[in-house]
C-alpha cells in the first residue's frame, strides 16, 4: 500500500469513529468495528475488556503502537457532515484520528508482513479519559512475550500547524492527579456560629494554603499547578452546614514533587482544619497519572528521522505541557516516545482547543502521523 491508500483508509475510519463516539468503558461498538476490520485482513488480536491488542509479524524483536478509543461527554458543535450521531458525546480530544491512523497503519503493516522481521503489537486502548485509565488494564497483556522494546504514540495538537510534529525528551506531559476531600464540622444556625464549627471557613483557609504549595514549597524552576475547581457546601443563607466537599487537580513534571505535594496536603490540611474544630478527610485512592517521560535516546532518533522525512522546519522541540496522558503508564515499563501532531489547518491562525465542542482537526495532518508511525516501526531499532 502506498501512503495515499493508507491515508484514504484512515479518513474513512476516522469519519466512522467520529460519527459513532463512545465514552470510557462503553466502547463496545468501536471494539466490534475494529475487530471486524482486523478479521477481514487476517490480523490476529486479543481482547481485554473493551480494548484490543493486535499482532503483526513475528520474532523476539518487538515494537508497539498505541491509539485510544474513547470519546468525551461533549455536545458537538462543529457542523461537520460526519458529526456525532450519539447525543452528548463527541471525539473532542482527537482519539478518532489517533485510532484511525493506527488501524490504517496496522493494515499496511500486515500487507508488508513478510518484510517486517519483528513483531508489532498494536494497542487499541479504551478509557484514556477516565481514571484509573485503560493503560493500566492493557499493560499486563502487552508485557507478555515478546515484550516490546519500544512503544510509540502521538496526540493531535491544535497549537501546531498541519505537517508539523512536536516532541520533548524526558518530562513532556504532566502528572495528573485528583484532589478529592471533605471538611466536616458541626452545623448550626448562622446567627449563632459559636454553637458549631464552620467547615466553609476551614475550606476557605485550605484553598488559600494550597496555593502556597506551588509558591513556597516548590523549586520555582519545576513546573506545577494546584487548582481547586469544585466546592459544594450548604443549602441556605442562614445555616452553617456540617460538611463541604471539594475537588481539584494537581499537575507537575517531577514525580518526587508530585508525592511531596500530597504529603503536605495530608499533613497541613488536618492541622488547618483542627484550628476551626473541623476534620479533614481525603480520598486517598491514588489512581492518577505519573509524569510522561519520553526516552532520551528514542526521542533523539525520532527527531532525526522526523527532520529527514518532514523537513527540519516541521519539527518543533516543545516546552513541557501541563496536559495529562495515560500513555505515561506504558512508559514506566517500556521505553518509548509520544509526540504531538499539528492539526491546525494552514488557512487558520488558531483553532478551538482540545475538549472544545468546536474542535475539528485537519484530516490532512493524518498523512504526517501515518508517515511517522510507519517509520517508528520500520526503522526500529535505529543504529
Q: Give the C-alpha separation, 51 to 34, whole Å.
A: 10
Domain ranges of the chain: 3-174+296-378, 177-282
Per-position b or e across 57-91, b if 16+ CB within 10 A of its CB: beeebbbbbbbbbbbbebebebeeeeebeeeebbb
SS3 287: coil
pLDDT exceeds cutoff 70 at 349: yes
- Please choose, from the candidates 92, 166, 163, the residue with its C-alpha nearest in 3D space to the C-alpha of residue 352: 92
Over range 359-364, report the average pLDDT.
98
Q: Which residues pair with 197 in a beta bridge?
A: 186
Alpha-carbon span 291 to 160, nearest angstrom:
22
Residue 1's pLDDT is 86
Q: At what angle are helices 3-19 and 365-378 packed, to 10 degrees?
A: 120
In this prediction, residues 36-55 reach a mean pLDDT of 98
Residues in contact with 300: Cβ distance below 8 Å, sequence separation at least 6, in sequence order: 169
**Whether the Cβ atoms of residue 199 and residue 334 lie closer than 8 Å to each other:** no
Question: Domain 177-282, what fold?
Answer: Alpha-Beta Plaits (3.30.70)
Of the candidates 95, 151, 149, 96, the residue with the CA atom closest to the CA atom of residue 123: 151
Under the banding of pLDDT at 50, 70 and 90, the label for residue 285 is: confident
DSSP per position, 78-112: ---TT---STT-B--SSHHHHHHHHHHHHHHHHHT
Question: What distance in Å separates the CA atoms of residue 202 and residue 138, rounded to the nearest whole number?
Answer: 42
* Reported confidence tier of residue 50, pLDDT bands at 50, 70, 90: very high
Q: What's the average model confidence in pLDDT over 27-40?
A: 98
CATH class of the domain defined by 3-174+296-378: alpha beta
Q: Are the folds of 3-174+296-378 and 177-282 the same?
A: no
Q: What phi-psi label fits residue 174: left (phi over 0), alpha (psi between -120 and 50 degrees) or beta? A: beta
- pLDDT for 286 equals 65
Under the banding of pLDDT at 50, 70 and 90, the label for residue 333 is very high
Residue tagged 469513529 (cell numbers):
17
pTM of the model: 0.92
Mean pLDDT for the stretch of residues 73-102: 98
* Cis preceding-peptide flag for 132 (omega within 30 of 0): yes
**Measuring CA to CA, how many Å separate 219 from each of 134, 254, 256, 257, 358?**
33, 11, 12, 9, 37
Q: Which of 297, 288, 89, 58 lies closest to 175 in space, CA to CA?
A: 288
Neighbours of 189 (CB within 10 A): 11
pLDDT surpassing 80 at residue 230 = yes
Tell me what the mean pLDDT of segment 279-308 comes to.
Answer: 94
Half-sphere exposure at residue 216, Cβ-oriented, CA atoms within 13 angstroms: 6
Which pLDDT score, from 0 to 100, does residue 382 have? 72
Q: Which three cell numbers stand for residue 31?
A: 471494539
- Residue 83 or residue 383, greater confidence: 83
Report pLDDT for 139: 98
Q: What is the mean pLDDT of residues 294-311?
A: 98
- Cα 3 from chain centre: 27
Strand partners of residue 68: 125
Tens-digit pLDDT profile for residues 313-322: 999 999 999 9
Given this model, what pLDDT does residue 383 score?
A: 63
**Residue 234 — left, alpha, or beta (φ > 0 → left; ψ -120 to 50 → alpha)?**
left
Question: At 155, which helix (H) or strand (E)?
Answer: strand 150-161
pLDDT digits (tens, 9 = 90+) for 201-229: 999 999 999 999 999 999 998 989 999 99
**pLDDT confidence bin for 194, thresholds 50/70/90:** very high
| Pick from 133, 173, 175, 127: nearest CA to 337 | 173
What does the DSSP 8-state code read for residue 175? Answer: P
pLDDT of residue 284: 85
Grid cell listed for 5? 491508500
What pLDDT digit, counting tens, does each position of 153-179 carry?
Answer: 999 999 999 999 999 999 999 999 999
Amino acid at each position: 500500500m502506498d501512503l495515499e491508500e493508507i491515508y484514504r483508509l484512515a479518513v474513512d475510519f476516522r469519519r466512522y469513529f467520529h460519527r459513532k463516539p463512545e465514552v470510557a468503558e462503553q466502547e463496545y461498538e468501536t471494539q466490534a468495528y475494529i475487530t471486524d476490520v482486523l478479521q477481514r485482513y487476517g490480523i490476529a488480536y486479543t481482547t481485554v475488556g473493551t480494548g484490543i491488542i493486535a499482532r503483526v509479524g513475528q520474532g523476539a524483536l518487538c515494537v508497539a503502537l498505541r491509539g485510544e478509543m474513547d470519546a468525551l461527554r461533549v455536545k458537538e458543535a462543529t457542523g461537520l457532515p460526519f458529526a456525532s450521531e450519539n447525543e452528548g458525546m463527541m471525539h473532542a480530544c482527537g482519539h478518532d484520528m489517533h485510532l484511525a491512523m493506527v488501524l490504517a497503519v496496522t493494515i499496511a503493516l500486515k500487507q508488508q508482513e513478510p518484510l517486517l522481521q519483528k513483531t508489532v503489537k498494536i494497542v487499541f486502548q479504551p478509557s484514556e479519559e477516565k481514571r484509573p485509565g485503560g493503560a493500566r488494564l492493557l499493560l499486563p497483556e502487552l508485557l507478555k512475550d515478546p515484550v516490546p522494546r519500544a512503544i510509540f504514540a502521538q496526540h493531535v495538537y491544535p497549537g501546531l500547524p498541519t505537517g508539523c510534529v512536536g516532541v520533548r525528551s524526558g518530562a513532556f506531559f504532566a502528572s495528573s492527579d485528583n484532589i478529592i476531600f471533605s471538611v466536616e464540622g458541626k452545623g448550626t444556625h448562622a446567627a449563632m456560629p459559636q454553637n458549631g464549627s464552620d467547615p466553609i471557613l476551614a475550606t476557605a483557609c485550605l484553598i488559600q494554603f494550597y496555593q502556597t504549595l506551588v509558591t513556597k514549597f516548590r523549586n520555582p524552576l519545576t513546573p506545577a499547578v494546584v487548582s481547586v475547581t469544585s466546592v459544594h457546601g450548604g443549602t441556605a443563607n442562614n445555616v452553617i452546614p456540617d460538611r463541604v466537599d471539594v475537588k481539584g487537580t494537581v499537575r507537575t513534571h517531577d514525580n518526587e514533587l508530585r508525592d511531596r505535594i500530597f504529603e503536605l496536603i495530608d499533613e497541613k490540611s488536618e492541622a488547618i482544619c483542627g484550628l476551626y474544630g473541623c476534620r479533614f478527610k481525603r480520598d486517598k485512592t491514588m489512581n492518577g497519572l505519573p509524569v510522561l517521560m519520553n526516552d532520551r535516546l528514542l526521542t533523539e532518533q525520532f527527531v532525526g528521522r522526523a527532520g529527514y522525512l518532514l523537513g527540519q522546519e516541521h519539527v518543533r522541540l516543545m516546552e513541557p505541557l501541563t496536559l495529562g496522558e495515560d500513555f505515561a503508564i506504558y512508559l514506566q515499563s517500556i521505553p518509548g516516545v509520544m509526540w504531538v501532531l499539528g492539526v491546525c489547518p494552514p488557512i487558520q491562525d488558531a483553532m478551538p482547543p482540545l475538549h472544545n465542542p468546536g474542535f475539528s482537526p485537519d484530516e490532512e495532518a493524518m498523512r504526517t502521523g501515518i508517515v511517522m508511525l510507519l517509520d517508528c516501526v520500520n526503522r526500529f531499532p535505529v543504529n
